[in-house]
Structure 1
Amino acid sequence: MSEVARHAVVVGAGIGGLTAAVALHRAGWRVTVCERSAGPAAVGAGIVLAPNALRAFDAIGFDAARVAGGTVPAAMGVRRPDGRWLSRADTAALTARYGRPPLAVHRSALTGALAAALPDGTVRHAMAVTSVLDPDGRDPLVRTSGGELTADVVIAADGIHSPLRRQYFPDHPGLRHSGETAWRTVLPPAHGTGAGGAGAPAAAETWGRGERFGVVPLADGRVYVYATAVAPEGYRPDDVIAELRRRFGHWHDPIPEIIARIDPAAVLRHDLYDLATALPRYHRGRLAWIGDAAHAMTPNLGQGGCQAIEDAVVLARLLERTARADVPAAVAAYSRARLARTDAIRVRARRAGRFAAVTHPLAAAARDLAVRATPERVALRALDSLFDGFVLPARPATGGAPPRARAQ
Structure 2
Amino acid sequence: MSRRRVVVVGAGIGGLTAAVALHRRGWHVTVCERATEPPVTGAGIGLAPNALRALQAIDVDITRTTGSAVPATMGVRRADGRWLTRTGTADLAARYGLPPIAVPRPALALALATALPTEALRYGTAVTAVDDAVGRPVLRTEAGPDLRADVVVAADGIHSPLRRAYFPAHPGLRYIGETAWRALVEAPDLRIPAMSETWGRGERFGVTPLSDGRFYLYATAAVPAGARSADPRAELRRRFGSWHDPIPALLDRVDRLAPEDVLRHDLHELAAPLPRLHHGRIAWLGDAAHAMAPNLGQGGCQAIEDAVVLAHLLPAGDAGDAGDGGAGSDTIPAALAAYTAARRDRTDTVRVRARRVGRLGALRHPLAVAARDLAVRATPTRLALRGMDDLFDGFHLPDRPTR
TM-score category of the 2 structures, normalised to the smaller one:
over 0.9
Native 8 Å contact 2:180 2:220 kept in 1 = yes
Displacement of 1:185 in angstroms is 0.8
| Root-mean-square deviation (Å) | 1.2
TM-score by length of 1: 0.93
Q: Which residue of 1 aligns with 2:267?
A: 272
Amino acid paired to 1:279: L
The 5 Å alignment of 1:48-197 reads: 48-137=46-135, 139-147=136-144, 148-190=146-188, 192=189
Matched with 1:206 is: 198
The match for 2:35 is 37
Q: CA deviation at 1:257?
A: 0.9
Aligned partner of residue 72 in structure 1, secondary structure: coil
Matched position secondary structure for 2:363:
coil
Contact 2:66–2:111 under 8 Å retained in 1:
no
> Which residue of 382, 385, 391 maps to 1:386?
391
Superposition pairs for residues 242-391 of structure 1, below 5 Å?
A: 242-262=234-254, 263=257, 264-321=259-316, 323-391=328-396
1:156-213 residue CA offsets vs partner (Å, 9 max, x unmatched): 00000000000001111100100000000111243x47xxxxx134210000000000
Between 1:236-245 and 1:71-80, the stretch displaced more is: 236-245
Distance 1:207 1:237 in 2: 22
Q: What letter matches 1:226 in structure 2? A: Y
Per-residue deviation, 1:227: 0.3
- Stretches of structure 1 that go unaligned for 5 or more consecutive residues are 194-198, 402-408
Q: How far, CA to CA, are the matches of 1:66 and 1:383 in structure 2?
A: 27
Distance 1:171 1:319 in 2: 28
Percent identity, aligned pairs only, is: 66
Given that 2:73 and 2:87 are in contact with CA atoms closer than 8 Å, whether structure 1 keeps it comes out as yes
2:349 aligned partner, one-letter code: A
Residue equivalent to 1:406: none
Secondary structure of the structure 2 residue equivalent to 1:82: coil
**Higher RCO, Cα 8 Å, sep 6+:** 2
CA distance in 2, matches of 1:189, 1:154: 42
CA contact (8 A) 2:187 2:253 kept: no
Cα distance, 1:338 vs structure 2: 0.4
Are 1:36 and 1:128, in contact at CA under 8 Å, matched by a contact in 2? yes
Q: Say whether 1:233 aligns with 2:234.
A: no
SS at 2:307 equivalent: helix
One of 206, 210, 214 as aligned partner of 1:218? 210
| 3-state SS of paired residue (1:342) | helix
User: 2: distance between equivalents of 1:209 and 1:175?
Assistant: 25
Contact 2:76 2:83 in 1 (8 A): yes
CA deviations 1:78-113 (Å, max 9, x no partner) are 001111100001111101100010011000000011
Task: Provide the secondary structure at the position in 2 that maps to 1:71.
Answer: coil
TM-score w.r.t. structure 2 length?
0.95
| Shift of residue 325, structure 1, vs aligned partner | 2.3
Describe the superposition over 1:283-316 as per-residue Cα deviations: whole angstroms up to 9, x where unpaired. 0111000000000000000000000000000000
Q: Give 1:121 shift.
A: 1.4
CA distance in 1, matches of 2:315, 2:112: 19
Letter in 1 for 2:28: R
Distance in 2 (alpha carbons) for counterparts of 1:189 and 1:123: 34
CA distance in 2, matches of 1:69, 1:359: 38
Contact kept in structure 2, 1:65 and 1:103, CA below 8 Å: no
- 2:322 paired residue number: none
The 2-side partners of 1:360 and 1:203 are apart by 26
The code of the aligned residue for 2:357 comes to A
Deviations 1:327-385 (A, max 9, x none): 11111110111000000100010111001110101110011001000000000000000
Matches of 1:136 and 1:71, distance apart in 2 = 46
**Superposed displacement of residue 235, structure 1:** 1.3
Query: Partner letter of residue 283 of structure 1?
Result: H
CA deviation profile, 1:239-283 (whole Å, cap 9, x unmatched): 212211111000001101111111122111000000001100000
Aligned equivalents of 2:39, 2:187: Cα separation in 1? 20
Aligned 8 A contact 2:335 2:400 in 1: no
Contact kept, 8 Å, 1:78 with 1:88, in 2: the verdict is yes
Provide the C-alpha distance between the structure 2 equivalents of 1:285 and 1:220, rounded to a whole number of angstroms.
Answer: 42
Query: How far off its partner does 1:395 sit?
Result: 4.8
CA displacement at 1:64 relative to structure 2: 2.2
- Counterpart of 1:163, as a letter, is P
Distance 1:328 1:48 in 2: 33
- Measured after TM superposition, the shift of residue 118 of structure 1 is 0.2
* SS in structure 1 of the partner of residue 342 of structure 2: helix
State the alpha-carbon separation in 2 of the partners of residues 241 and 62 from structure 1. Answer: 37
Contact 2:277–2:289 under 8 Å retained in 1: yes
Report the secondary structure of 1:203's partner residue: strand
Extract unaligned runs of 5+ from structure 2.
320-327
